[in-house]
Amino acid sequence: MNRTVKIIIFILICLLAIATLSASVEDQSGFIPIPAITYSFNDGTALSTMTFTSSEARLFYTFIKADEDAQNKPLFLFFNGGPGSGTSCGLMGFYTGRKTFDNCITGGGDRYIDNPVSWTSLGNLLYIDARCAGFSYGLLPSGTSRNLAGLSSEFLGRNFNSYLDAAEFIRALLLFLAEHPQLQKNPVIIVGESYGGVRATLMLNMLLHYPQYANYRDIYQDPELVDLIQAHYNIVFPEYSGQEVPPAIITRQFGHQVLIQPAIDNYRRYYDGPMLEAPGSLVYQIARETKTTFTPCQNSNCDPMSHIYDFVEYVAKRDIYGCHKPTGWTDSFFDHAANLLLDSEQFQALTNTDPALIAELHPEARSRAYKYAYYAPDSPSGILPRHQDIYARLPHEQKVLLRPRKKNVPTDTTLAPLFDIPSVFGPLLPFDAYYSSLTSDGNIAYFYLNAPYARGYAAYSYHPLTGQKFLQNLIDVKTFITNAKYDLVVYTDALPPALGLHSNLVASSDHQKNLPINTARPGQIEIRYHSGVLSQSGQAIRTIRFPYYTQSSHPVSLTEPHEFYDDVVAWLEEK
Amino acid sequence: MSRTILMLFIVLRVFQISFLCADDTKSQTQGWSLELSGGLQFFTNNDLCLATEAENSYLDLYYRNNPYYQTLDNPGFATFSYQFSGQARIKYRLGRHFSIGASLNYLSGNSSNNGLFSFQWNQNWRILTDSLDYQALDTKLNMVFPNLGLFYRLPLGAKTDMELGLCAGPVFAEARLKRHIIDSIQVREVSPVNEYIMYRDERALTMEGSGTGLGVGANLKLEFKIGQSMGLFFETGYTFYHLPSLSGRSTDSAGGQTRSWEGEWFMVGEQVAKNWGTADFFYPSNDPSLQLRRVGEFELNIHAFLALQLGIYLNL
């Protein structure tokens, strides 16, 4: 065999290898196994350490490849909020993928349409459902009984807290990247909605400052996660193999976040109520439009935001997620999408994957699966008696999420026969379900069945520590946040002054409503850090793009998909 | 350390020569004797007992002084304050007043704690009961102190002598710390009534360390002759032991997982601020994950006061 023939054979082998690798970057849906994780919380001293081992879970994911040149395009990681809301019925369902459910759903005609602003033109898309939300489910540890007592022991902070949740999403992401080596070194852009702001903050903090999560410098300690991150960086940044990678280098991969109406910490509460109670606010506008009367809180026992929610939802009968729309308007889309995803055709249209081919969806693979303890997905909305006291003490976002309201699933009878997955796949064991747009049991566990938080540790999702981590990330991560006019649940006008309350880190936080110039939807937040803060030698200034969406409710990608898409494209192109 | 021992030997040798030459009744006063004794030593040390003190500070800040909690059970911790000691000494009388000797001292101390601490937080709609059931909070120390000494005898009566002594030598120590807690939170919801365990974990940390150092001491002895060649004595004294470091193996079981490591002991320093107060924690550890909180070296400095030691001597 002469040299020329050998070279030709080598080139053919290389081409074949490349073709094989390329072929594997295809649209797909499935489950990412999350192992039992041993982690701990400590509250300033290692003596206070509380150690937990979570239960295994399977997180549902959908990958949609970029329209062109997928191997060289960034990966957009999407997730909704809750905590405990499904992503598949949220961001995956509406105006991000190649196909989308219609934002003018009327109950008839096509349930999905081609998305005119598909983000696949920008990159690859990865959607992940959180533990027990969407199609994801938990796995009972061996020896745990499948009864209410057994399931109750699963819906505790041990399995449902913000830090574990972020760590699970990182594990899922890194595992996905490891299984798709063609994408492993690509930039990852995190896109989170609502509570997804907390998840994005904690994920990025763990990814950028990973060593502190295994040396008692952070409240959350997860040495195995740190090893996984280091192993990933050994591949992505081989020049730092085996060494601690600086955040400025890590941002080559994890350097962007897009946050849709994000919850970050509870400092927003110091501003949103007073802003909305001020004369001339949006709430008074709603009162005028609906010919009702709004009276602000009259005594100190009255919580302004709860009071406003009650007025908007029950008196003005408007949607608190989008107060220019009727009550339940926003929920209707997610409920609708949740139902459509239980239809094989609709599922396949959105994911480009035949659900029958996903082994973990089938009952045979779900002998240990569970999704709920008290709140079955098809149970009537509302809080069970056992949780009424808990409900009264929930943070506002959670009250909103769990408060009783009528379902807005279209009653169109032509849709009913479509929901074939439960009937075709077969019945599931008790406490399991195919789909859940929100895990109410999990959500309650985040806030009231969370042992370190109950002891007063900073393990609370909306603790100011989360805001500090957001500001720490912001030094290195380019950030885009939506500002939707009609969203009262996360009233983002309150975000700039709330960030300014972190006076130990920032000197000022200014909402610059008319900047940048020459943009269709101006708005930005300028954060000035104190000199020397966060390892910066001088006074660092960071700017968050903060466009104002005048027609939007909470899910901006649903309400102004074109505008949102255009702004993200322009922002990504900024130097 | 070997240089110190050599110096000591030379000094003793000089004393021996000078007094042998000076004493004209050496045939009566020279000779060997053997002493055996045992008793209690009270001691303080800078670093080892801080493990227990840190535990007390933890309970103070997080529970006892926490305005949200009501204390239900609070048995307290005993501190590590005395140890048993035993000693064998062989001496050679250089003359009427002076002797030199070699001793082997064994010291063993142990502080052992257990008990249930429980605290209740009434949140109106539910009551949290935090229980820290200490199965063990133990500190254990064993030391061997071979030493050389120089002694000065002063006759007080026909059958009574007093003796002053100085000694020095290497010290070999083994220490062990054990913290074993069953930590749980029990919840009782008021309306409707519902009880469940929100959290339960059994955590056991065992730290072992060994090291060598130097000890120097002074003692005062009162002897009572009860025969031609034997007698009883009471002894008191002070010894300072210094071990610059300890190192050894540790295991930690928590959350159903066990990890182990080996390394040198060091001091961890932490400060925690709560709305109701702050606390500083200093305690020994050799956990590599706590290296960033390392504030200094672990030094076993023991000031041992020999309170009461009873012995017998035999003139050989």
ipTM score: 0.80
- Residue A108's SS3 state is coil
For residue A152, which amino acid is it? S
Residue A411 pLDDT greater than 60, yes or no: no
- Residue A341 per-residue DSSP state: T
Q: Using CB atoms within 10 A of its CB, is residue A555 exposed (0-12), middle (13-18) or buried (19+)? A: buried
d(CA A501, CA A51): 32
d(CA B150, CA B156): 19
- Residue A207's SS3 state is helix
Distances (CA, A) of A224 to A124, A141, A214, A242: 28, 20, 8, 15
Main-chain dihedrals φ then ψ at residue A523, nearest 5 degrees: 140, 130
- Residue A376's SS3 state is coil
> Which of A398, A391, A415 has its CA nearest to residue A110?
A415
Q: What is the DSSP string of B198-228?
A: EEEEEEEEEEEEEEEEEEEEEEEEEEEE-SS
Residue A167 pLDDT greater than 50, yes or no: yes
Query: Across-strand partners of A61?
Result: A30, A128
pLDDT of amino acid A328: 84
Cα nearest neighbour of B57 on chain A: A47
pLDDT of amino acid B15: 44
Contact A215 B290 (CB under 8 A): yes
Mean pLDDT of B150-174: 94
Cα nearest neighbour of A392 on chain B: B125
Cα angle at B236 between B232 and B237, to 5 degrees?
140
A126, A176 in Cβ contact below 8 A?
yes
pLDDT digits (tens, 9 = 90+) for A180-197: 999 999 999 999 999 999
Query: What are the chain A neighbours of B281 within 8 Å (beta carbons)?
Result: 45, 47
Mean pLDDT of A265-282: 94
A101, A150 in Cβ contact below 8 A?
no
Task: Please state which of the ranges A259-263, A387-391, B136-140 shows the lowest mean pLDDT.
Answer: A387-391
SS (H, E, C) A308-343: HHHHHHHHCCEECCEEEEECCHHHHHHHHHHHHCCC
The verdict on B191 touching A (C-beta cutoff 8 Å) is yes
Query: What are the chain B neighbours of A38 within 8 Å (beta carbons)?
Result: 254-257
Which residues constitute the domain of residue B45? Answer: 2-315
The verdict on B316 touching A (C-beta cutoff 8 Å) is no
Query: What are the chain B neighbours of A214 within 8 Å (beta carbons)?
Result: 289
For residue B243, which amino acid is it? L
- Taking any CB pair shorter than 8 Å as contact, residues of chain A touching chain B are 38-40, 43-53, 152-153, 156-158, 214-217, 221, 223, 385-386, 389-390, 392-393, 449, 451, 454-456
> Which of A469, A557, A496, A477 has its CA nearest to residue A119?
A557
Query: What are the chain B neighbours of A393 within 8 Å (beta carbons)?
Result: 125
CA A46 to chain B, closest CA, distance in angstroms equals 8
> Which of B292, B212, B204 has its CA nearest to residue B247?
B212
A48, A25 in Cβ contact below 8 A?
no
B155, B181 in Cβ contact below 8 A?
no
Q: At what angle do helices A162-179 and A196-208 cross, to 10 degrees?
A: 70
State both tokens at B224: 């009572």
| CATH number of the structural domain spanning residue B192 | 2.40.160.20
Length of chain A: 575
Mutate to test the interface with A, among B201, B258, B293, B295 (most CBs of A within 10 A): B201
* Closest Cβ opposite residue B257 in set A38, A217, A455: A38
B111, B153 in Cβ contact below 8 A?
no
Give this prediction's pTM. Answer: 0.86
d(CA B302, CA B143): 11
Percent of chain B with pLDDT over 90: 58
pLDDT digits (tens, 9 = 90+) for A215-241: 887 899 999 999 999 999 999 999 999
Contact B192 A38 (CB under 8 A): no
Q: A441 or B9: whose pLDDT is higher?
A: A441
Main-chain dihedrals φ then ψ at residue B314, nearest 5 degrees: -130, 125
* Closest Cβ opposite residue B255 in set A53, A153, A449: A53
> Which of A194, A186, A185 has its CA nearest to residue A322?
A194
Task: Please state which of the ranges A318-322, B114-118, B120-124 shows the lowest mean pLDDT.
Answer: B120-124
The verdict on B203 touching A (C-beta cutoff 8 Å) is yes
Q: At what angle do helices A162-179 and A223-236 cross, to 10 degrees?
A: 30
Q: With cut-offs at 50, 70 and 90, classify the pLDDT of residue A103.
A: low
Mean pLDDT of B81-86: 76
* First-to-last C-alpha distance (Å) of chain B: 32
Contact A47 B58 (CB under 8 A): yes
Query: What are the chain B neighbours of A458 within 8 Å (beta carbons)?
Result: none
Q: Tell me how many domains chain B contains.
A: 1
Contact A455 B198 (CB under 8 A): no
Per DSSP, helices labelled H in A147-217 are 148-152, 162-179, 196-208
B118, B73 in Cβ contact below 8 A?
yes
Query: What are the chain B neighbours of A50 within 8 Å (beta carbons)?
Result: 183, 199, 201
Residue A398 pLDDT greater than 70, yes or no: no
Mean pLDDT of B95-110: 90
Residue A111 pLDDT greater than 80, yes or no: no
Cα nearest neighbour of A158 on chain B: B199
Query: What are the chain A neighbours of B196 within 8 Å (beta carbons)?
Result: 152-153
Query: What are the chain A neighbours of B190 within 8 Å (beta carbons)?
Result: 389
pLDDT digits (tens, 9 = 90+) for B215-260: 999 999 999 998 888 999 999 999 999 999 999 999 999 988 899 9
CA A213 to chain B, closest CA, distance in angstroms equals 10
Residue A250 pLDDT greater than 70, yes or no: yes
Query: Across-strand partners of B155?
Result: B161
> Which of A205, A202, A191, A257 has its CA nearest to residue A459?
A202
The residues, ordered by sequence, that sit 6+ positions from A214 with a Cβ below 8 Å of its Cβ are A221, A222, A223, A225, A226, A227, B289
d(CA B35, CA B314): 6
Residues 46-105 of B with CB under 8 A from A: 54-55, 58, 62, 66, 68
Contact A456 B183 (CB under 8 A): no
Residue with tokens 């009250």: A399
State both tokens at B44: 């303080």
State both tokens at A163: 């830090």
- Residue A184 per-residue DSSP state: T
Mutate to test the interface with B, among A37, A45, A224, A390 (most CBs of B within 10 A): A45
